[in-house]
């Protein structure tokens, strides 16, 4: 779990303990304190605080009697909430199906919250609860709490407004702070024993109003999200790349003294050969880099270029016999020629030797610090911040790389004297990383994919060589590492400032966009959960009205409750203990 999340939970627990024991002490010593708490209906429990108030009753009453149209407002109200009844009833089987699919996907193949995905992985519907510090970054705590509060208020307002329209009395509004999560509810008169009897359809309107309000709120947020580029177009460019708004203090991509990299307000337009248009394509480009196809990417180079680069090689400067570049050659990388057309014969015999070779030469790090290669940083695995470590091990990548490098065995390419040294080990070429990319005709996996007079050369590393192209800025930034490092340590948004580079202006559309995203997700999630006909949720009462046979109602409620409990129990190992997302 995220260490920041653990620290937050610990501090909040200590605070609740202090408040709880202070409350017990004051109740014994102070009568005025008891009178105050009783008057305002405040109760302090361990890890949660409750408040019951009638302060908002009048405001809710006014909201419920606002005339949407001057002509026939009651007909308008009835039509809207009758539509809500239909949509809510339809959503019940859909919600059950989604939860069943989520349970099945976790049982068959638990999925992590990591950026990494398997190319051949089967996809199921899998809805996961959003938890700050687990599958949401801690920096989004404000969005999470605020959006959740808005969604709950809109949900409960639906019940209250609809009840008042049906002449059902509103008793009070309850506010509960459960740990750090705010919960709001409305207490209304029992509709089954109300002084003024109401119809079955009216009862359904009241119970379905909360889910219906959440559905409408979700649709409204989607409209805002789709129109957001138009609303912000006078001051911002949209769909022309992503702008860097913040970089983590431990980001290996940060520009520092004597080291080139990214800076705030840089606009990323391309990653390797993948064009970046917005945040979605930015993430997709990083996901593509993680695929086995891109991890094993090499470069087609002419023999003349390789020979020219080799003139700077000095074998007596090497401190590691498995490396091919001296320690002072910080702009260089080790490359090895690849030709996998005949690899099948020798993979099993040479895989372990090459695997060891790759493992020893994946990094060139001095004094435990990153080493710059032009605009490239090599990050040693042991020095990588714990928050950046991904659950996926690189063992598989190294093995696949080994299979590619096996082709340099003399058993395979015995006629090529330039590929092997006298001791039958692969010949390694020390070349400047930036010059290799600039002079490469195309990317490749083997020399078979290169044009005539060129050969494929693979970097002798188990990580990806990432080119980050910037708008109106050259040359590109090079980074040798994992895509997850880039994703976890950079904050980007879709809105590029036209006229100034202001931190405040950079965050205004981003905050609005993130709020709309979180409200749409949490509102739809709240509607989804409440549509499950388990105990204590809205659908329990809806099913109680629709299903007349008591034994059938009981079976539906019990099975639905067991389904939801199973879902949350499976969520704990699959998400809580998976690799946390942190920025």
Which carries the bigger pLDDT value, residue 563 or residue 578?
563
pLDDT of residue 49: 93
Which carries the bigger pLDDT value, residue 407 or residue 425?
425
Q: Rounded to an integer, what is the distance from CA 306 to the centroid of its chain?
A: 42
Residues in the chain: 583
Which carries the bigger pLDDT value, residue 106 or residue 422?
106
Which carries the bigger pLDDT value, residue 196 or residue 470?
470
Q: Mean pLDDT across the stretch 200-219?
A: 94
Q: Mean pLDDT across the stretch 253-262?
A: 70
Neighbour count for residue 515 (Cβ, 10 Å): 17
Which carries the bigger pLDDT value, residue 264 or residue 528?
528
Q: Mean pLDDT across the stretch 45-70?
A: 84
pLDDT of residue 110: 54
Work out the burial of residue 499: count CB atoms within 10 Å of its CB; fewer than 13 is exposed, 13-18 middle, 19 or more buried.
exposed
Q: Mean pLDDT across the stretch 468-490?
A: 82
Using 50, 70 and 90 to split pLDDT, how confident is the model at 387? very low
For 549-577, the pLDDT digits (tens) are 888 989 999 999 999 999 888 877 655 55
- pLDDT > 70: percent of the chain: 74
- The answer, yes or no, to whether residue 134 has pLDDT greater than 60, is yes
Q: Mean pLDDT across the stretch 457-481?
A: 81
pLDDT of residue 74: 58
DSSP 21-71: HHHHHHHHH-HHHHHHHHHTTEEEETTEEEEEESTTHHHHHHHHT--SSSS
Q: What whole-number distance in Å separates Cα of residue 124 and Cα of residue 101? A: 7
pLDDT of residue 38: 92
Which carries the bigger pLDDT value, residue 277 or residue 383?
277
pLDDT of residue 486: 85
pLDDT of residue 329: 74
Q: Rounded to an integer, what is the distance from CA 132 to the centroid of its chain?
A: 11
pLDDT of residue 350: 40
pLDDT of residue 366: 32
Which carries the bigger pLDDT value, residue 323 or residue 10?
10
- The answer, yes or no, to whether residue 542 has pLDDT greater than 90, is yes
Output the CA torsion 25→26→29→33 (10° steps): -160
Is the Cα dihedral 436, 377, 298, 277 positive or negative? negative
pLDDT of residue 69: 52
pLDDT of residue 403: 35
Which carries the bigger pLDDT value, residue 402 or residue 250?
250
- The answer, yes or no, to whether residue 313 has pLDDT greater than 90, is no
- The answer, yes or no, to whether residue 537 has pLDDT greater than 80, is yes
Check: CB of residue 88 under 8 Å from CB of residue 531. Answer: yes
Q: Rounded to an integer, what is the distance from CA 455 to the centroid of its chain?
A: 39
Mean pLDDT of the chain: 76
For 321-366, the pLDDT digits (tens) are 456 777 777 778 888 887 654 443 333 334 443 333 333 333 333 3
Which of 43-57, 82-96, 119-133, 255-269 shows the lowest mean pLDDT across its residues? 119-133
DSSP 175-205: EEEETTEEEEEEEE--TTS-SS---HHHHHH
Which carries the bigger pLDDT value, residue 296 or residue 179?
179
């Amino acid at each position: 779990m995220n260490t920041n999340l653990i620290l937050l939970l610990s501090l909040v627990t200590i605070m609740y303990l202090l408040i709880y024991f202070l409350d017990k002490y004051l109740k014994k010593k102070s009568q005025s304190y008891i009178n105050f708490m009783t008057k305002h209906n405040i109760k302090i429990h361990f890890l949660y605080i409750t408040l019951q108030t009638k302060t908002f009753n009048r405001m809710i009453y006014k909201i419920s009697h606002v005339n949407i149209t001057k002509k026939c407002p009651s007909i308008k109200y009835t039509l809207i909430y009758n539509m809500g009844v239909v949509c809510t009833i339809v959503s019940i089987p859909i919600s059950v199906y989604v939860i069943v699919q989520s349970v099945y996907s976790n049982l068959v193949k638990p999925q992590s919250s990591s950026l990494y995905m398997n190319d051949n992985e089967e996809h199921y519907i899998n809805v996961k609860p959003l938890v700050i510090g687990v599958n949401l970054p801690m920096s989004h705590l404000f969005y999470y709490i605020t959006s959740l509060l808005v969604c709950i208020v809109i949900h409960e307002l639906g019940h209250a407004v609809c009840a008042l329209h049906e002449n059902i009395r509103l008793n009070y509004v309850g506010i509960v702070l459960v740990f750090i999560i705010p919960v709001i509810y409305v207490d209304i008169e029992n509709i089954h024993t109300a002084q003024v009897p109401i119809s079955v359809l009216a009862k359904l309107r009241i119970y379905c109003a909360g889910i219906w309000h959440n559905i409408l709120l979700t649709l409204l947020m989607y409209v805002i999200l789709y129109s957001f580029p138009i609303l912000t177009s006078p001051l911002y460019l949209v769909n022309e790349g992503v702008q860097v708004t913040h970089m983590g203090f431990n980001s290996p991509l940060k520009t520092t003294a004597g080291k080139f990299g990214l800076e705030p307000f840089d606009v990323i337009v391309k990653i390797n050969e993948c064009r970046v248009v917005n945040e979605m394509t930015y993430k997709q480009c990083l996901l593509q880099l993680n695929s086995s196809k891109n991890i094993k990417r090499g470069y087609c180079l002419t023999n003349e270029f390789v020979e020219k680069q080799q003139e700077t090689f000095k074998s007596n400067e090497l401190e590691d016999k498995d490396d091919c570049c001296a320690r002072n050659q910080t702009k260089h990388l080790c490359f090895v020629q690849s030709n996998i057309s005949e690899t099948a014969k020798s993979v099993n015999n040479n895989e372990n030797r090459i695997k060891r070779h790759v493992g020893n030469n994946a990094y060139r790090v001095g004094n435990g610090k990153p080493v710059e290669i032009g605009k490239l940083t090599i990050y040693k695995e042991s020095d990588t911040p714990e928050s950046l470590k991904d659950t996926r091990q690189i063992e598989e990548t190294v093995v696949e790389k080994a299979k590619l490098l096996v082709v340099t065995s003399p058993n395979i390419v015995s006629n090529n004297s330039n590929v092997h040294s006298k001791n039958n080990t692969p010949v390694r070429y020390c070349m400047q990383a930036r010059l290799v990319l600039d002079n490469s005709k195309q990317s490749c996996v083997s020399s078979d994919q290169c044009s005539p007079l060129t050969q494929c050369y693979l970097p002798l590393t188990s990580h990806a060589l990432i080119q980050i192209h910037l708008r109106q800025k050259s040359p590109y930034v090079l980074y040798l590492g994992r895509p997850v490092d880039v994703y976890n340590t950079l904050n980007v948004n879709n809105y590029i400032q036209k006229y100034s580079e202001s931190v405040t202006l950079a965050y205004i559309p981003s905050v609005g966009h993130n709020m709309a995203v979180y409200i749409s997700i949490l509102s739809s999630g709240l509607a989804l959960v409440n549509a499950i006909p388990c105990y204590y949720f809205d659908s329990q009462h809806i099913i109680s009205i629709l299903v007349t046979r008591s034994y059938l109602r009981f079976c539906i409620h019990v099975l639905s409750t067991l389904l939801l409990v199973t879902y949350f129990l499976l969520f704990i190992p699959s998400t809580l203990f998976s690799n946390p997302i942190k920025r």
